[in-house]
Structure 1
């Protein structure tokens, strides 16, 4: 079974808190104060509040066959000084609370190019309660390509990603933009946390907006650690990271939005009922 090499801790944030660019700095100040109380080392980057803009698009069949079977198909476009980069990031994810099932999914694509496969544990708050945590496992395939076209049939996508062969879906089903929603993601990389024993994590703060209406959808605070072997994480460092994650919820509750994930929110916006829950 493939080993986990990333641990990403995520907290959804209330979009109404981000009414001005300075709010990224305000929230980071609160996080630094919480880190200090918990004994967590924290460093702020020199370019901490340089805002990066990305377009995020999700694709699925009209019946959401991918998402309802734990798959996510996402295209992300990065912008420099207002102009889109020629290459896009295509991500295919399989997410499940079942670690073994997630780990054994073969996410390697039948494609030539820049490909990265990641297996990570995502740490999330409970859906209806502050100060606790749950795990969701994510097996990801990331492809960087200048020519990403995502209006084919599901059989064309499955031919590139064999992991999708398990889907019981009509091969003639087309895929299209989920809920006709184009998301604008504004993100800053404010700094990183040090939990001791070599266990460090890079932090991000982001807000997702509906590009069409320019309304804010949801924010997110995340910090991610990378390591060679999951079992090598020191117990004290792991516990401190989890204690800090819970404290970030309870000591700044006015910022936290309980729920599931950003992806689940995009799927839940439309009139069609979503069967899958994350």
Structure 2
């Protein structure tokens, strides 16, 4: 079936067991297995042999009572790193993510008009309750690409609402403090390695990558294999290609069953609660 109206991106995600993921040989083994599976499935896979691994810090903001999470809101910060050095600018994303497309639409994450942003309505396809099945959640995103770290947020809901006024419509005490989920020591170090592009049909080409989340270097807590593609007016009606991506995702789970970790999303692990 073709993506629902308004969807701008489709992202397929599988959590990977963390053991050994900080070893390049382990990632090479996984990448090679995916490549062989693509050949068997007759899905073109343009493999990247010499891709550069990107590093960034990731953390989330919420109230002490986790009011954002209770209202299906995620406030995420990504800080890019060059080796040990953190950039002065970060990416900030506010999203409403639910299993109901209409509910994700009801919250407007848009920043103030004077703030440059990217708006995305994503269909995130996750593993279902059993291997070889899937379920979808919907994520209504506003992404700010270059926020100065030194003026990120004060420690109040009002300070965040200066960027995202839609937060003031939520049933949350406007004087609520805001803090990093789990505290500053709960920041995640993410290593992200592009591994190639999958071709499901005309105009439906997915970028595939492996991400590793660590508390510190050498201490993986989870991995994620993901592939995603943009949806636009040109490819929205390519139903055969979209169905092919869906079918590939389900069969890939069977192929990689020994690699798969139980769970829904990486964010759920940070909160310690299912999503």
* TM-score relative to the length of structure 2: 0.91
In the alignment, structure 1 segments of 5+ residues that lack a partner are 269-273
Alignment map for 1:96-175 (pairs within 5 Å):
96-110=98-112, 112-126=114-128, 128-143=129-144, 144-147=146-149, 148-175=151-178
What SS does structure 2 have at the residue aligned with 1:16?
coil
Q: Deviations over 1:1-53 (max 9, x none)?
A: 971111000000000141512222211111111111111110012533x2111
Following TM superposition, by how much is the alpha carbon of 1:132 offset from its aligned partner in structure 2, in angstroms? 0.5
For residues 120 and 252 of structure 2, what CA distance do their matches in structure 1 show?
26
Q: Deviations over 1:157-199 (max 9, x none)?
A: 2343132233222222111111121100011011100012221
For residues 5 and 154 of structure 2, what CA distance do their matches in structure 1 show?
32
Of the candidates 223, 229, 232, which is equivalent to residue 219 of structure 1?
A: 223
Q: 1:28 maps to which residue? A: 31
In the alignment, structure 2 segments of 5+ residues that lack a partner are none
Structure 1's 265 and 214: CA in aligned 2 closer, same or farther, altered over 3 A? same
Structure 1's 60 and 230: CA in aligned 2 closer, same or farther, altered over 3 A? farther
Q: Note if 1:183 corresponds to 2:183.
A: no
Aligned residues of 1:111 and 1:160 also touching (Cα < 8 A): no
Q: 1:56 maps to which residue? A: 58
Aligned residues of 1:57 and 1:76 also touching (Cα < 8 A): yes
* TM-score relative to the length of structure 1: 0.90
Q: Deviations over 1:202-235 (max 9, x none)?
A: 0110110013x85211100000111213972422
For residues 51 and 9 of structure 1, what CA distance do their matches in structure 2 show?
20
Q: 1:271 maps to which residue? A: none
Residues 37-46 or 52-61, more deviating: 37-46
For residues 178 and 73 of structure 2, what CA distance do their matches in structure 1 show?
13
Q: 2:262 maps to which residue? A: 258
